[in-house]
Amino acid sequence: MTLALPVATLESWLGSEAEDLLSYRARVAKELLHLPGPDWIERIWLPSDRPPQVLRSLQQLYGTGRLAHTGYLSILPVDQGIEHSAGASFGPNPMYFDPENIVKLALAADCNAVATTLGVLGSVARRYAHRIPFIAKLNHSELLSAPNQYDQVLFAGVEQAWNLGAVAVGATIYFGSPESTRQLQEVSRAFALAHEYGMATILWCYLRNPYFKQDQDYHLAADLTGQANHLGVTIEADIIKQKLPETNRGYGAVAKALGKSYGKTDDRMYNELTTDHPIDLTRYQLLNCYAGRSGLINSGGASGKNDFAEALRTAVINKRAGGSGLILGRKAFQRPFQEGVDLFHAVQDVYLAPEVTIA
């Protein structure tokens, strides 16, 4: 396959970080991890308790698009019409008020799947469910109540997702929030039912608590996000979606803010298993996904002036850490259609390039 992004071009996008990101050797050896590959379903999931129908759904998910049969995923997620208001999300590119264009973008970009709401998928299911895997997002934070309440509530049911032809369901838990216990119970039940119906499960393992934002934003701390990942795989999430870590030592910062002890730590979490390097921080997230048995996909983040550089940097960090891909939304659909396609293809090239190795 011809790559649209030569390594020299990738290095130019990475700028001054290029040599470090592309040659860094991670603190935790890659031999301790379960790494993506063409045999992912047989090697990782065949020995598990997942029913044959779930294995078939996972194979469809990993076997579609430009990254088919590599063990890597490139997914278009669009639930921001609920999470961030439709106007804020689609104002930069109003064509995406029409949900069919969301699916068309995922198809044109050769994605493994499109992840979006019940309403979006239901409106075009008969035309597209057989052409690209659907991931139905079950819960959202509606953000219209005043004052805003940051709570994930169920918008859809597992049976509805199955009826519209979804191969997987997705859900978010705001770990650390007062509502997280209820969300954990709801999502655990939904994921168990989804597996009974033969669908795979993807969990957005996000953090939400005002104490997590101190001198830095510890919502992006490797130790806290890593633990969120570990809780996610405990309820049998097949794939974990997490934000790229930017810092560490969140436990200590939260304890200081609370004025009392918080959580449990071990010095080796910081001195032996991680460093301040982004690849090490991301690898720690992956370690908490049962050493990679559940694939780690990082999110692309909000759109801005440097979307290509930021997305490619995230892809390099995720791949070299041992992750399973990128789930890229606003950076793609808030720009002209063809530019969104080009951005996806550039990110996919990172995962297809043998020169970008596991650290």
Active site members: 241
Q: Which tokens hold the place of 7?
A: 């390594």
In angstroms, the CA 348 to CA 346 distance is 5
Q: Residue 348, CB half-sphere, CA atoms under 13 Å: how many?
A: 26
- Eight-state DSSP code of residue 42: I
C-alpha dist (Å) from residue 128 to 56, 97, 131, 135, 298: 18, 18, 5, 12, 26
Nearest to 28 by CA among 320, 324, 239: 320
Residue among 346, 127, 326, 139 at smallest CA distance from 243: 326
CB 303, CB 334: distance < 8 Å? yes
What gap in Å lies between CA 71 and CA 56, rounded to an integer?
15
**How far is it, in rounded angstroms, from Cα 210 to Cα 80?**
22
Give the closest residue to 318 by CA, choosing from 347, 354, 288.
347
